[in-house]
């Protein structure tokens, strides 16, 4: 029998409505891993929150983080793979964001630390975002009270531009960023409401799909079963051999899924893995 690799998105998929992995899901996934199952996750989150959220999972494989811009090993605390933007591409993205006056974070990834900068006035949502992550040993924030960071002399090692602002403002910016060759912009609505738009801009070489392909080769798996709920999961689901959407997934995800299971609030991913 061939080896199957299970890869799950986190927010809205594996995580419940409290943004945690339930004790029941932890128990089932650990039983599956103990029986030889290959399990990993693919998330927009960084190691700082992933390490906390999955601390009770008996992980044996590296995790896909930052929507595929990096693969991180929870056992060693080191990055196994990093995909950053070419410097000229990063500068063009930066200029476009500035033209639209869109407040945004800039994540650079060198060695094993994420350095985070910011352009524009900080909203209350962004301040809360920073406060929840400020004590992480995986990140360094270089953001003054006014939100306008002094950027590095050279804009290299950029893994991600990230914005969370009113949807219309974000969507207009993403439209122009899409004209820049060499980058991969993603737009979607915040899971808590359509009034907030999320923009993620990566290298064109960075995606959950490319990272999934790498992990499949790395593990020697014959088949990949992927789980997701939102727009940024679609490339990964299309790359997988079996695409699984949770019941609470957006319609676009359900359209590309081979199987639709129960909602994220009912341990549906863990139950599927145990039954597979």
Read off the pLDDT of each residue in 50-60 and give the average, rounded to a whole number.
94
Read off the pLDDT of each residue in 186-199 and give the average, rounded to a whole number.
83
Write the pLDDT tens digit of every residue in 213-264. Answer: 999 999 999 999 999 999 889 999 999 999 999 999 999 999 999 999 999 9
Q: What is the Cβ-side half-sphere exposure of residue 138, based on CA atoms within 13 angstroms? A: 19
CA nearest to 91, candidates 200, 186, 162, 182: 182
pLDDT value of position 192 = 60
CA nearest to 80, candidates 219, 200, 204: 219
pLDDT value of position 190 = 74
Show the tokens assigned to 257. 């899924």
**For the ranges 11-15, 198-202, 230-234, which has the lowest average pLDDT?**
230-234
Confirm if 127 and 143 have CB atoms less than 8 A apart.
no
pLDDT value of position 276 = 87
Secondary structure class of 254 (helix, strand, coil): helix
Q: How sure is the predictor about 125, in pLDDT bands with cuts at 50, 70 and 90?
A: very high
Q: How far apart are CA 130 and CA 140, in angstroms?
A: 10
pLDDT value of position 153 = 82
pLDDT of residue 177 exceeding 70: yes
pLDDT of residue 268 exceeding 90: yes
Q: Please identify which residue in the block is written with the tokens 């975002």.
A: 129
Predicted TM-score (pTM) of this structure: 0.87
| Summary mean pLDDT of the chain | 94
pLDDT value of position 15 = 97
pLDDT value of position 188 = 87
Q: In what order do the strands lie in the sheet with 78-82?
A: 63-65, 70-73, 78-82
CA nearest to 100, candidates 156, 159, 179, 203: 179
pLDDT value of position 100 = 97
pLDDT of residue 1 exceeding 70: no
Compute the radius of gyration of the chain from its Cα atoms: 18
- State which H helix or E strand residue 39 sits in: strand 38-41
Confirm if 187 and 199 have CB atoms less than 8 A apart.
yes
Higher pLDDT, 108 or 111: 108
Q: How far apart are CA 158 and CA 170, in angstroms?
A: 20
Write the pLDDT tens digit of every residue in 143-161. Answer: 999 999 999 888 889 999 9
pLDDT value of position 17 = 87
pLDDT value of position 194 = 80
Confirm if 229 and 264 have CB atoms less than 8 A apart.
yes
pLDDT value of position 38 = 97
Polymer length in residues for the chain: 276
């Amino acid at each position: 029998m061939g080896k199957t690799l299970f890869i799950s998105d986190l927010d809205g998929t594996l995580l419940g409505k409290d943004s945690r992995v339930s004790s029941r899901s932890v128990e089932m996934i650990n039983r599956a891993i103990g029986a030889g199952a290959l399990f990993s996750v693919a998330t927009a989150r960084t190691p700082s929150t992933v390490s906390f959220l999955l601390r009770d999972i008996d992980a044996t494989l590296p995790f896909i983080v930052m929507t595929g811009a990096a693969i991180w090993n929870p056992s060693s605390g080191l990055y196994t793979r990093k995909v950053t933007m070419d410097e000229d591409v990063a500068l063009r993205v930066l200029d476009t964001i500035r033209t639209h006056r869109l407040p945004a974070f800039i994540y650079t990834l060198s060695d094993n630390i994420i350095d985070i900068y910011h352009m524009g006035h900080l909203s209350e949502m962004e301040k809360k975002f920073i406060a929840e992550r400020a004590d992480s040993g995986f990140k360094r924030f270089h953001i003054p009270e006014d939100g306008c960071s002094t950027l590095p002399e050279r804009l290299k090692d950029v893994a991600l531009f990230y914005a969370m602002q009113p949807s219309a403002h974000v969507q207009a910016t993403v439209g122009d960023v899409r004209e820049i060759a060499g980058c991969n912009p993603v737009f979607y609505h915040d899971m808590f409401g359509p009034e907030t738009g999320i923009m993620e801009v990566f290298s064109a070489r960075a995606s959950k799909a490319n990272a999934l392909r790498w992990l499949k080769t790395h593990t020697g798996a014959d088949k990949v079963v992927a789980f997701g709920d939102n727009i940024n999961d679609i490339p990964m689901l299309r790359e997988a051999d079996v695409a699984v959407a949770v019941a609470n997934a957006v319609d676009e995800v359900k359209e590309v899924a081979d199987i639709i299971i129960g909602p994220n609030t009912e341990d549906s991913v863990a139950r599927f893995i145990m039954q597979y």
